Amino acid sequence: MSSYIKIMASTVRLLAYATVLLTLFAAFHLLLSPFLSGKALVVTAVTAMLAIAVAAVAIAGKHIAALSTRWTEAAENWMQAGSVQIESRIESLSPKSVRMAVAVTAGLSLFLELVLIRWEAGLFVVFALYKNFTLLSCFCGLGIGYAKARDKHLTLAAALPMMLLLIGTFSFLRYGTGQFGNEMFQVIPVREEVSVFFGLDPNASFGSFIAQSLPVYCLLVLTFVLNALVLLPVGQFCGRLMQRMEPLASYGYNLVGSAAGVSLLFLLSWMWAGPALWFGIAAAGLAVFQLSSRAARKIAFGSAIGCALVAAWPMQPMIQTIYSPYQTIEKASQPNGLMSLLVSGSYYQKVFDLSPSNANRDTDPKLRKVVGYYELPFKTARSLHEVAIVGAGSGNDVAAALRNKAGHVDAVEIDPVIRNLGIENHPEHPYENPRVHSIINDARNFLRTTQTSYDAIVYGVLDSHTVVSHGANMRVDSFVYTKEGLQDAFNHIKPGGLLSVSFALQTQQMGAKIFRILKTLPDAGAPVAILTGYDSNNTTTFMVAKAAPVRLPLAYMKDRLLTDVTPAYQAASAQALDLPSDDWPFFYLEKKMYPQTYLILLALVLGVAFLMVRALLPSQAWQPSALSFFFLGGGFMLVETKAITELGLLFGNTWQVVGVTIISVLVMAYLANLCAGRLTQRMLNGAYVGLFAVLLAGYAVAVHGSSWATTLPQQLLLVGVLVGPLFFSGMVFSTLLKGSKNISGAMAYNLMGAMLGGALEYNSMRLGFSSLYLIALALYGMAWLTMQTKLLPASWWRFETAEAEGEIAEPVTAMQPANPV
C-alpha cells in the first residue's frame, strides 16, 4: 500500500472520530449553557444526547476502522488503475503537448495555492492574520510531490477527492458547528501580540493559554495535512511532466504557467468572484488531465462538481457574502435595520443614522457616545475647509464631517466592496454628496503621494483583520501607524491644522505608542487623548495640532460623555517603548521579541512537515549535492518578502501592487532562466557577485528608508535594487538546474528551502525587516559554499536516486513558480 493512501486513510479516519467527538462536546456545551438552566425537559434531552454520543464513540470505533480498511483497499486499487492509464497518456504526448501540460499544471498548482490561502483566511481569522501557515503547508505538499515524481504510480487521481474532503471539512467547521465552533476556532493563539477582537487572555498562565488554544492548534495541524495532501499529487504530476523535457525549457514553461495562474486569480479578485468559481476552475483543470482514465474520470468530475457546490454551501438567508480583493465580507442587519459588516465571521463595522432627523441621537446614551466619537475631531479642528479621512469605510466618519460643514472631503478607503456597501446602504448617503471625493487607495500611499494640504486628517478605526501578502504577519494597516507613516500624514497638515488618530485599544501601551509618536512629530503641539467609549470601552481618539495647541470642545465633550485621559498617556508614553517603524512595523506587538507562541506555531509547521516527509518519503536518500537548491529556495523566499514589503511602501499595499509584484518576480525568474542558457558553471561566481552586491544595496535601502525615491528614475532604480536579487539568484538556480539530471528532485529541495525561508521571516519580529537581507545573504552564501567542488567531497556532486515506491530522490529549486503570494 502506498504511503500517500495510508495517510489519506488515517486522515479520513481521524476526521470521522473527530466528528463524533465534536458532537459530544457540542452536546456538553449545550448542557452547560445558562440559556438551558432550569429547563428540565431540555436538560434531559441533552443528557440523552450525551449518552448517545458517548456510545457512538465506543461503537463507531470498530465500524470506522472496518470501513476505513475496506475504503483504503478500494482506493488503492482505484488509484493504481487510474495511474496506469494517466501515465500511459503522458508517455504518448507530443513534445508540444508536454510543454503545454507543464505550463497548465504549474499554473494550476500556484492558482490552487493562492485560492487556499485566500479561502481559508475568509473562514478562520487565524489564517487571515497568519497566511504564512497555509503557504508553508502548500510548499510542503508541492515539495514532497516533486520528490515523488519518479514513483511507480501517480497520485493525481486522489487530488480532487482530497480537495472535496478539505472543502467539506472546513465548511462544516466554519458553518456547521454554530456558536460552539466559532468560540473554539475564531481565536488567535498568540498572546504576545495584541488582537483587536479575537485574542485570548494574555494574563493567563502559559499552560492555561495553551489549553485554551488547543482547538486552534488542532485546526492548524489539520489544515497543514489536508493542504499538503491536496497539493502533493499536483506537484508530483508536474514533476513527472517536467522530467520529459530539457531542464531549462521545462522550468521556463513552469514559470510561464505560474504567471498565468497568478494572473487568473487576480482577475477573479477584480471580478469579486467567490470560492465556488475559484475551486470550480481549479477542479475542472485537474479533471481534464484525467479524461484518459476510465477509473479516475467519473470520480474526478464528480469531485469537481462537488467542490464547486460545497464551496458555495454557506448561503445564509440573512447574510450577504461578498468576496472583495482583500477579505471575505458578510453583510448583515442590525436590529434597527441598518447594515453591519463581518470579516472572517467576526464583527468589523456598522453604519449609524446620526442625522439631526434621528431624535434618538441626542437621547439614547449609547448613541450620544457614538455621535461624540465621530464628531469630536470636527468639533475640535479650527477649520474644515479641506478634510481627509483615511479608512473611510462605509461612511460614518464622512457623514460626520458633512454634518459639521466640511468644505471638501477626500474619503480614502482601500476596500472597494466596503465603500460600495456604504454608497448603497448608509442612511445619510455621504458618498453621494458633491463635496466628497471617494478615493480607493492604501492610506499610506495616499498620504505619501497627495499634493493637498489639509485642515484636518482623520484616521478612522483602521485596525485590520487581514494581511495583504504572505509575509510574516504583515497586515493591510501595518505601515499606517509607523513613525514614518504618521509623519507622512503630518506633512500634509496646514499650520494650526489637526491630525486625529482613533484606535480600539486593547492595552494602554498601544495608546502610549501613538501618543509618543504624535508628541515627537516636528512642529507638533501637545497631543491629547480622549476616551470615547465608542464600540467598546477602550476606543480612544488621539489629536495633535501643527504648531498650535489642541483646543478641546469641553462643553461638547461633557455632553457626549467623553473623557480626557491625556495625563495617563502622557505618563505612559514616558516609559521605554519600542515604537513601530517602516523597518519594524509591528504596532500590535508589545515589543521587539521572539514570541513564545509564535515559536509554537513554527514548531507545528516544522514538526508536521518532518513527519509527513518521513511518512511519504520513507526511503528517500539525503542528497547533499542538492543543498544549493535548498538554500537558494530559502534566500529567495526572504528576498521576495522584502520586495513585496518595499514595493508596497513605494506604490501602495493594494492587491494590484501585490499581484504585479508576484508576476514581476516570475518574469525576472524567466529572464534569468533565458540568460542561464548561455552561462557555464564556471561563470556562476560572477552571478553570485552580482547577487551579493544587490543584496547589500537592498540592505542599505532597508536601513535608511526609501523616502528619497520621489521621481520616476529614482523609483525605477529602487525597483531594480529590490528585484535584482531575484534575477541573479534565478541565474544561479537555472544554471545549476541545467546540469542536473533530476529536475523534479531539485524542485523539491527548493520548495523545502522556501519553507525554511518562510520560518526565518519571523526574525523580523525581533530584528526588523532589514535583517531579512542579512539572513538571505547567509543562505545564499551557504548555497555558494555547497557548490564548491574543491571544498566539498566529490560524492556531494552526484545526484543519487533511491528506489522506494519507485521514487527518485531530489529536491527543489530557488525560483519555484509556486512562490509565496
379 pLDDT higher than 70: yes
Q: Which of 105, 154, 98, 162 is nearest to 295 (CA)?
A: 154
Residue 538: predicted pLDDT: 84
Choice between 379 and 158, residue whose per-residue pLDDT is larger: 379
Q: Which three cell numbers stand for residue 166?
A: 478539505
Question: Does the residue 19 lie in any domain?
Answer: yes
Between 728 and 50, residue with greater pLDDT: 728
In the predicted structure, residue 511 carries a pLDDT above the cut 90? yes
In a domain, 814, yes or no: no
From 625, 630, 599, select the one nearest 139 (Cα to Cα): 630
- The answer on 520 and 538 residing in a single domain is yes
**pLDDT, tens only, 328-367:** 999 999 888 899 998 877 788 999 999 999 988 888 888 9
Closest CA to 578 of 562, 590, 564: 590
| Per-residue CA distances from 63 to 17, 69, 70 (Å) | 11, 10, 11
Q: Going by DSSP bridges, is the β-strand pair 454-459/346-350 parallel, antiparallel, or unpaired?
A: unpaired
Task: Look at residues 58, 92, 126 and tell me which one is the last residue of a structural domain.
Answer: 92
**Residues 421-473: tens digit of each pLDDT:** 999 999 999 999 999 999 999 999 999 999 999 999 999 887 654 444 444 45
Only one residue has cell 510561464, namely 256
User: Residue 604 to residues 74, 426, 610: CA-CA distances in angstroms?
Assistant: 32, 44, 10
pLDDT for the residue numbered 61: 57
Based on the domain organization, do 100 and 49 belong to the same domain?
Answer: no
Compute the distance between CA of residue 167 and CA of residue 805 in angstroms, rounded to an integer.
Answer: 29
**607-628 mean pLDDT:** 83
C-beta separation of 653 from 479 below 8 A? yes
Q: Has residue 37 got a pLDDT over 70? A: no
Among 509, 544, 572, the domain-final residue is 572
pLDDT of residue 39: 46
Instruction: Please count the structural domains in the chain.
Output: 3
Task: Tell me which residue has cell 503557504.
Answer: 135
- Residues contacting 744, CB < 8 A, separation 6+: 146, 147, 149, 150, 239, 240, 242, 243, 808, 810
In the sheet with 346-350, reading across from the earlier edge strand, the strands are 320-323, 328-333, 339-343, 346-350
E strand or H helix at 542, and its extent? strand 539-545
Residue 257's pLDDT band (boundaries 50, 70, 90)?
Answer: very high
Residue 256 is assigned to a structural domain of this protein: yes
pLDDT at residue 705, rounded to an integer: 80
Model confidence at 132: pLDDT above 70: yes
Query: Is 105 in the same domain as 86?
Result: no
Question: Given this model, what pLDDT does residue 797 score?
Answer: 45
CA pair distance 108, 98, nearest whole angstrom: 15
Tell whether 248 and 284 lie within a shared domain: yes
Per-residue pLDDT tens digits for 411-425: 999 999 999 999 999
Query: Rounded to whole angstroms, how far apart are CA atoms 186 and 785?
Result: 45
Binning pLDDT at 50, 70 and 90, where does residue 56 land? low
Same domain, 647 and 690: yes
pLDDT of residue 178: 67
13 plus 79 within the same structural domain: yes
CATH number reported for the structural domain that contains residue 192 in this entry: 1.20.1250
Count other C-beta atoms under 10 Å from residue 374's C-beta.
26
Q: Are residues 67 and 170 in the same domain?
A: no
pLDDT of 577 higher than 50: yes
So what's the pLDDT on residue 471?
A: 46
Closest CA to 735 of 794, 778, 673, 783: 673
**Alpha carbon distance 72, 206 (integer Å):** 41
Same domain, 145 and 157: yes
Q: Inform me whether the pLDDT recorded for 191 exceeds 70.
A: no
pLDDT band of 269, cuts 50, 70, 90: very high
The answer to whether position 241 is within a domain reads yes
| N-term to C-term CA, the chain | 35
Q: How far apart are CA 208 and CA 215, in angstroms?
A: 13
Phi/psi region, residue 523 (left: phi>0; alpha: psi -120 to 50; beta: rest), is left
Strand ranges (DSSP E) for 546-686? 563-564
pLDDT at 817 over 60: no
Centre a 10 Å sphere on the Cβ of residue 77 and count the other Cβ atoms it contains. 12
Q: Quick check: is 159 in a domain?
A: yes
Grid cell, residue 430, equals: 455621504
Residues 555 and 604 in one domain: no
Q: Mean pLDDT, to the nearest integer, of 41-62?
A: 55
The whole domain housing 179 covers: 93-315+592-613+622-797
| Position 583 in a domain | no
pLDDT per position as a tens digit, 644-695: 888 888 888 888 988 999 999 999 999 999 999 888 777 888 999 999 999 9
- CATH number assigned to the domain comprising residue 421: 3.40.50.150
**Which grid coordinates are listed for 655?**
492587491
Confidence of residue 710 (pLDDT cuts 50, 70, 90): confident
Q: Are residues 72 and 117 in the same domain?
A: no
Buried b (16+ CB within 10 A) or exposed e, 732-760: bbbbbbbebebbbbbbbbbbbbbbbbbbb
Least confident of 92-96, 215-219, 671-675: 215-219
Question: Do the beta carbons of residue 742 and residue 810 sit within 8 Å?
Answer: yes
Share of the chain above pLDDT 70, in %: 83
Q: Which of 539, 572, 605 is the last residue of a domain?
A: 572
Q: Please check whether residues 355 and 241 belong to one and the same domain.
A: no
The average confidence (pLDDT) of the chain is 85
> pLDDT digit string (tens) for 228-246?
999 999 999 999 999 999 9
| Domain-located, residue 557 | yes
Tell me the HSE value of 611 on the side-chain side, using a 13 A CA sphere. Answer: 10
Average pLDDT in the 394-410 region? Answer: 97
Residue 470 included in any domain: no
Residues 69, 104 within the same domain:
no
pLDDT value of residue 626: 85
